[in-house]
Amino acid sequence: MAEETLVLFKNIRNPKYSKSLEGYKKAGGYQTLKKVFGMKPNEVVQTVKDSGVRGRGGAGFPTGLKWSFMPNGTGKPSYLIANADESEPGTCKDRELMLKDPHLFLEGMLIGCYAVGCHHGYIYIRGEFFPAIKSLNTAVEELYADGLLGPDPLGSGFHLDLTIHSGAGAYICGEESALLDSLEGKRGQPRVKPPFPAISGFNGCPTSVNNVETLACMPFILGDGGVEAFKSFGPENNSGTHLVSLSGHVNKPGVYELRMDVNMKDIIYGIGGGIRNGKKLKGVIPGGSSSSVMTADEVDVLYNFDELANIDTMLGSAAMMVFDEDTDVVQLLHRITRFYAHESCGQCTPCREGTHWSRNILRDFLNGNGSDEKLRRLDRVGGNMLGTTLCALGDAAALPIQSFVKKFPDDFRKYYANK
């Protein structure tokens, strides 16, 4: 049976651990930062590249590669922004880190700042996360008091400031270019790319935006653990452990740290304790609400980036939402489309209109006004959002629609079969 592999949660799972700076240092904290200050920034970037770590926010882009895009000698300041705007339905792992071991993430953040030459980093955290904001504020204050932030951390001479920036409730601000607009004090609307943030990001300066969990991997990769150990936690191209947010109809929902070569069945029936009330599994939304749904027959697969991409869905932010045989998938999809209709920023027509149209069509089904034509129209509206918008929200709204219609057609027909 699958078990947790503790890298990021090593401290959190220790009942005697104290998350204060003192406690974190006692557990070996900030030793990696010390080591990193003795390396050249490009050596740090190369090590991160070698580790193969891919962004844990949803896109799975190689972090080392992202950092290597940061240009030198532009005459402008460079920025590292931590994306702590965790809002993808099903995802609650970054909150866990920030609440229970803020210094692990912060050490990673400081390492990242050094690697990309950033002297003032920002943590963009979603506004509703009041307890996590408090936890981070305390930790950052401790760092300033200790001298780990300020003019000369650990005698490195590398001046480093950190600011926690609260968002104000908008899913779209998790998209990196919308996040940057929001950080600049604007409505959070995704930008036209290129230019990418590495060329023109925060206030037009070179910027790297990285997920909280991604940054929290850095103390292990560059410290005691090392590249080879990190790579050994998963198959080629899927290195490291990752935090899986398990929710829905399982007996033991929770956030678990797993290797990347664990079978989904083991996650649901082993770690998750199986389906509650002895019910049968009907399906799983594997990587946040934006990923294509999987049926019960499809879950015998390794839970990682490439394996899920192979079967036309995605790992996303590793948020597994499990639902049982009694679930009304039309209602479920209606709830998902309501989310996207609420969160579309309104900039691109296909998404602004399509998210509302699809929600309205599904409402018709629920009100007893479904039909074959409406089912086809729903699928078409989804298709018209795919790839036609500036950011991935259009795709994120379309993929669940198209996959639910394709994989559970009978559930939709039930709504109008007797008419």
* 251-269: b (≥16 Cβ within 10 Å) or e: eebebbbbbbebbbbbbbb
CB of 112 to other proteins, least distance (A): 19
Of 175, 178, 210, nearest to 392 by C-alpha is 175
- Report the C-alpha gap between 154 and 152 in whole angstroms: 6
- Report the C-alpha gap between 167 and 23 in whole angstroms: 29
Contact between 171 and other proteins per CB under 8 A? yes
Give the residue with the Cβ less far from other proteins, 221 or 345: 345
Contact between 121 and other proteins per CB under 8 A? no
Cβ neighbours of residue 10 closer than 8 Å, sequence gap 6 or more: 27
Give the residue with the Cβ less far from other proteins, 44 or 333: 333
CA angle 378–383–386, rounded 5-degree value = 135
Contact between 89 and other proteins per CB under 8 A? yes
Binding other proteins by CB under 8 A: which of 13, 193, 342, 376? Answer: 342
The distance from CA 184 to its chain's CA centroid, rounded to whole angstroms, is: 22
Binding other proteins by CB under 8 A: which of 28, 71, 169, 195? Answer: 169
Binding piece for other proteins, criterion CB under 8 A, among 24-32, 136-144, 147-155, 177-185: 177-185
Instruction: With beta carbons less than 8 A apart as the criterion, state whether 107 and 219 touch.
Output: yes
Contact between 131 and other proteins per CB under 8 A? yes
Contact between 213 and other proteins per CB under 8 A? no
CB of 278 to other proteins, least distance (A): 16
Binding piece for other proteins, criterion CB under 8 A, among 52-60, 120-128, 260-268, 363-371: 120-128
Torsion sign, CA atoms 115, 62, 292, 401: positive
Q: Between helices 349-366 and 372-385, what is the axis angle to 10°?
A: 160
Contact between 15 and other proteins per CB under 8 A? no
Contact between 87 and other proteins per CB under 8 A? yes
Give the residue with the Cβ less far from other proteins, 221 or 271: 271
Contact between 91 and other proteins per CB under 8 A? yes
Q: Burial level of 185, CB count in 10 A (0-12/13-18/19+)?
A: exposed
Contact between 254 and other proteins per CB under 8 A? yes
Give the residue with the Cβ less far from other proteins, 45 or 183: 183
Contact between 165 and other proteins per CB under 8 A? yes
Left, alpha or beta for 122 (phi > 0: left; psi -120 to 50: alpha)? Answer: beta
Instruction: With beta carbons less than 8 A apart as the criterion, state whether 244 and 256 touch.
Output: yes
Binding other proteins by CB under 8 A: which of 339, 404, 408, 415? Answer: 339
What the block records as the tokens of 57 is 């926010």
Give the residue with the Cβ less far from other proteins, 161 or 395: 161
Give the residue with the Cβ less far from other proteins, 48 or 212: 212
Contact between 191 and other proteins per CB under 8 A? no
Give the residue with the Cβ less far from other proteins, 32 or 344: 344
Cβ neighbours of residue 23 closer than 8 Å, sequence gap 6 or more: 11, 17
Residues lying near other proteins in the complex (CB under 8 A) are found at 77, 86-92, 94-95, 120, 126-131, 161, 163, 165-171, 182-188, 203, 245-249, 253-255, 285, 289, 319, 321, 323, 327, 332, 335-336, 339, 342-343, 345
